[in-house]
Chain A
Amino acid sequence: MAAERSLSNRDDSQRIVVTGMGAISSLGHDLPSTWAALVESANGIRTIERFDPTGFPVTFGAEVSIEHAGPDLKGSLAMRAASEALRQSGLEGSPRVGVFLGSEADRPPLPLVATRMHRGQTPTADEMAASAPWAPTRSLARRLGAAGHQGTVSTACTSSAQAIGEAMLRIRRGELDAALAGGVDILVDPLMVTGFAILGALSTRNDDPGAACRPFDIDRDGFVLADGAAMLALESLAHARKRGAPVLGELLGYGCSLNAWRITDAPPDGRGAALAMNAALRDAGLSASAIDYVNAHGTSTPQNDVSEARALQTVLGSSVDHAWVSSTKSMTGHTVAACGALELLFCLLAVRDDVAPATRNLDNPDPDCALRHVAHHSVRSPIRFALSNAFGFGGNNASILVGGAP
């Protein structure tokens, strides 16, 4: 009932639909192969090959390697995911089409940095321009011929969820007809491994990478760095119908919040996360009982998983036994600036196929994380509405609620 109310409250120019989806991850080089592997609970986490990890505190990650990527791997991943989404959508650039990406500043390859230091050289202007966080946004806008608003969001793990939210708000407001939105990140890098390991945030199960990421499990010990990109073609329902585009699903509600807690921890009661989820539900005009599946942020760190579980218990209330919950990071690793977009795609596909993907390695659920977990194997179950959570390092939270094609 609540769903029908929400759908009729907005006219077709304010309803945001997805007409194209693209992704590249350690599980697959496009969305269909990634999704197929995810449904099979495949493992995308292995010993690092990009550099020799011997001697590093962490020797594994969820790498993506593609041929002919050149020095700009990040740009190549973004372009590949965007091309897949645009092919499916048929969306073409115009002054009323924007581009919104979650992206952090890029880092030049460390061997290059070392050589330069040795020679007393510094980066060129072109290299600096290419490493700015907004570089992939500009590049995709040029490729698409999109002359509408461009936005780059750098809020760590919430970046792409907030970029998608920003695109939703601008289309609803009538500033744009359509947008390409998503995120990209490259994390399997010696400095990232060093920096996050020093912070104590990474799993150190070097002897068994496939079992390392175990969100909500009692034996979890940290997250796993990953590479990836995910893109969505978004437009108003009216615009999609007018041009006869395929409508793959609908973004029903978006909410975001801040923790106001600590830089490196989430509040034990999950207060900030609950605010974001409730805001998304309000935006969609739905009650928590409508949620059939939650793709949790679920990083596999001891504190964050408890915080998110408590937030979900608070928000779902008596429906906590109804909504399936899983963290697909157990298979893809943590793609940080791209995870919000990647996991939103998984929610759209969960609704399309009535399949909730699993949390791999969830052998012994933590009693402090009591939820209706999808452990080990995906489950077939009617999924009408799904919620995607993205909670960032530093305390940014974003939640997006999705439904099937209208």
Chain B
Amino acid sequence: MPSTDIDVKYVAHLARLGLTPEEERKFGAQLGQVLGYIEKLREVDVSAVEPTAHAVPMVNVTRPDGIRPSLSNEEALRNAPAQAGGLFIVPKIVE
């Protein structure tokens, strides 16, 4: 059974979220309380219940696989923090 303590450091790493030690401590305590509240869901008998991912009964919404107008290269780069030659500049990924 899951405990009501979140390993905030580990989860923050999964989410690529930089936290100060103070934030780790504070959020850990606050989220511990929220998880404590959420425990009440264990009271519910869900044995014969299907999960709902989407409230409207729609499935397999598709469109024809065709090219449609989109943003131009320029428009797509307009808010880029760093760009050159029509590309986003990113830190080195592979050695």
Instruction: Answer yes or no: do A and B interact.
Output: no
Binding site for A on B (CB under 8 A): none
Binding site for B on A (CB under 8 A): none
